[in-house]
Chains A and B, each alone.
Chain A
Amino acid sequence: MPEQSSRWPIPDRSVDLSRVKPYADHLGDGIVQMSFTLPVPYGLAARKAAQELAAKMGFEHPEVVHYQELTDGYTYFVMFGEATQTVDYASMSDEGFDVEYMSEDEIEDFAGREIGRPVVVVGAATGTDTHSVGIDAMLNLKGFHGHHGLEGYKAFETHNLGSQVPNSVLVSRAIDLDADAILVSQTVTQQNLHIANLTELVEIVEAEGKRKQLILTCGGPRVSNELAKELGFDAGFSKGTYPYHVASFIVRELAARMDDSGPAHPSASSNGAAPASGAAGTRTDG
Chain B
Amino acid sequence: MASAAPPRLSDLLAGTRALALAGLAKNTGKTETLAAILREHAAAGRLVGVTSIGRDGEEHDVIDARIAKPRVRLQQGGLVATTGALLRSSGVAHERLLQTGVRTPLGEVVLARLSQAGTVEVAGPSAAADLRTVSDAMLELGAEQVLIDGSIDRRAASSPAVADGLVMATGAILGEDIEAVVTATSDAVDLVRLPAASAPAGAGRADATTGAPAGAEDDGRVVVDRRLALNAEPAQIAALLREHPRAGTFVLDGALGERFLEGLLAARSERAGRELRIVAGDPTKVFLSSRGPRWYARQGVSIEVLQTISLKAITVNPVAPQSHRFDSQTLRELIEAAVSDVPILDVLDDSYLALAK
- A residues near B, CB below 8 A? 88, 91-92, 94-97, 166, 168-169, 171-172, 175-176, 192, 195-196, 199-200, 202-204, 206-209, 211-212, 224-236, 253, 256, 260, 273, 275-279, 281-284, 286
Name A211's contact: one of B62, B101, B128, B225 (CB within 8 Å).
B128
Q: Is the CB of B106 within 8 A of A282?
A: no
- Inter-chain contacts of B89 with A (CB < 8 A): 88, 91-92
Q: List 13 A-B contacts (CB under 8 A).
A: A95-B108, A202-B126, A203-B156, A204-B230, A204-B254, A209-B254, A225-B106, A229-B105, A230-B62, A230-B151, A283-B225, A284-B214, A286-B236
Nearest chain A CB to B131 CB, angstrom units: 10
Q: Is the CB of A208 within 8 A of B226?
A: yes
- B residues near A, CB below 8 A? 53-55, 58, 62-63, 83-85, 88-89, 101, 103-108, 123, 126-130, 151-156, 159, 211, 213-215, 225-233, 236, 253-257, 259, 281, 284-285, 287, 289
Q: Is the CB of B62 within 8 A of A224?
A: yes
Q: Is the CB of A276 within 8 A of B226?
A: no
Q: Is the CB of B85 within 8 A of A232?
A: no
Interchain CA distance A282-B225 in the complex, whole Å: 7
Interchain CA distance A175-B231 in the complex, whole Å: 12
Nearest chain A CB to B88 CB, angstrom units: 4
- Inter-chain contacts of A277 with B (CB < 8 A): 211, 226, 253-254
Interchain CA distance A12-B105 in the complex, whole Å: 33
The verdict on A234 contacting B226 (CB below 8 Å), with A199-B152, A203-B287, A206-B284 known, is no
Name B62's contact: one of A199, A226, A232, A273 (CB within 8 Å).
A226
The 4 closest A-B pairs by CB, nearest first: A95-B85, A172-B230, A276-B211, A207-B255
Q: Is the CB of A232 within 8 A of B156?
A: yes
- Inter-chain contacts of A282 with B (CB < 8 A): 213-215, 225
Given A203-B287, A284-B225, 4 new contacts (CB under 8 A): A166-B259, A168-B259, A207-B284, A231-B151
Q: Is the CB of A283 within 8 A of B227?
A: yes
The verdict on A204 contacting B128 (CB below 8 Å), with A225-B105, A232-B54, A283-B227 known, is no
The closest CB in chain B to the CB of A228 belongs to B105
Nearest chain A CB to B129 CB, angstrom units: 6
Interchain CA distance A168-B230 in the complex, whole Å: 5
The verdict on A94 contacting B85 (CB below 8 Å), with A211-B127, A233-B126 known, is yes
Nearest chain A CB to B168 CB, angstrom units: 16
- Inter-chain contacts of A276 with B (CB < 8 A): 211
Q: Is the CB of A95 within 8 A of B254?
A: no
The verdict on A96 contacting B107 (CB below 8 Å), with A168-B230, A203-B284 known, is yes
The closest CB in chain A to the CB of B209 belongs to A275
Q: Is the CB of A203 within 8 A of B155?
A: yes
Q: Is the CB of B215 within 8 A of A95?
A: no
Nearest chain A CB to B70 CB, angstrom units: 16
The closest CB in chain B to the CB of A224 belongs to B62
- Inter-chain contacts of A92 with B (CB < 8 A): 85, 89
Q: Is the CB of A199 within 8 A of B213?
A: no
- Inter-chain contacts of B214 with A (CB < 8 A): 282, 284
Q: Is the CB of A97 within 8 A of B107?
A: yes
Nearest chain B CB to A252 CB, angstrom units: 10
Interchain CA distance A196-B227 in the complex, whole Å: 23
Name B54's contact: one of A88, A230, A281 (CB within 8 Å).
A230
Name A207's contact: one of B54, B62, B254 (CB within 8 Å).
B254
- Inter-chain contacts of B123 with A (CB < 8 A): 229
- Inter-chain contacts of A203 with B (CB < 8 A): 154-156, 255, 284, 287
The verdict on A234 contacting B126 (CB below 8 Å), with A91-B85, A94-B85 known, is yes
- Inter-chain contacts of B289 with A (CB < 8 A): 196
Interchain CA distance A231-B228 in the complex, whole Å: 26
- Inter-chain contacts of A169 with B (CB < 8 A): 230-231
Q: Is the CB of B105 within 8 A of A235?
A: yes
Nearest chain A CB to B176 CB, angstrom units: 15
Interchain CA distance A204-B159 in the complex, whole Å: 13
The verdict on A231 contacting B88 (CB below 8 Å), with A192-B63, A207-B285, A281-B213 known, is no
Name A168's contact: one of B62, B105, B231 (CB within 8 Å).
B231
The verdict on A175 contacting B226 (CB below 8 Å), with A168-B259, A195-B63, A199-B154 known, is yes
- Inter-chain contacts of B229 with A (CB < 8 A): 168
Interchain CA distance A171-B255 in the complex, whole Å: 10
Q: Is the CB of B254 within 8 A of A196?
A: no
Name A97's contact: one of B54, B106, B129, B228 (CB within 8 Å).
B106
The verdict on A206 contacting B156 (CB below 8 Å), with A168-B232, A286-B236 known, is yes
- Inter-chain contacts of B151 with A (CB < 8 A): 230-232
The closest CB in chain B to the CB of A259 belongs to B101
- Inter-chain contacts of A204 with B (CB < 8 A): 230, 254-255, 257, 287
- Inter-chain contacts of A209 with B (CB < 8 A): 253-254
Name A230's contact: one of B55, B84, B281 (CB within 8 Å).
B55
Q: Is the CB of B255 within 8 A of A208?
A: yes
Q: Is the CB of B153 within 8 A of A212?
A: no
- Inter-chain contacts of B54 with A (CB < 8 A): 229-232
Name B106's contact: one of A192, A207, A229 (CB within 8 Å).
A229
- Inter-chain contacts of B253 with A (CB < 8 A): 208-209, 275, 277
Q: Counting chain B CB atoms within 10 Å of each CB, which of A207, A209, A235, A275 scores highest?
A: A207
Interchain CA distance A283-B230 in the complex, whole Å: 13
- Inter-chain contacts of A91 with B (CB < 8 A): 85, 88-89
Interchain CA distance A11-B218 in the complex, whole Å: 77
- Inter-chain contacts of A225 with B (CB < 8 A): 105-106
Nearest chain B CB to A205 CB, angstrom units: 9
Q: Is the CB of A172 within 8 A of B281?
A: no
Interchain CA distance A236-B55 in the complex, whole Å: 14
The closest CB in chain A to the CB of B104 belongs to A229
The closest CB in chain A to the CB of B232 belongs to A168
Nearest chain A CB to B187 CB, angstrom units: 15
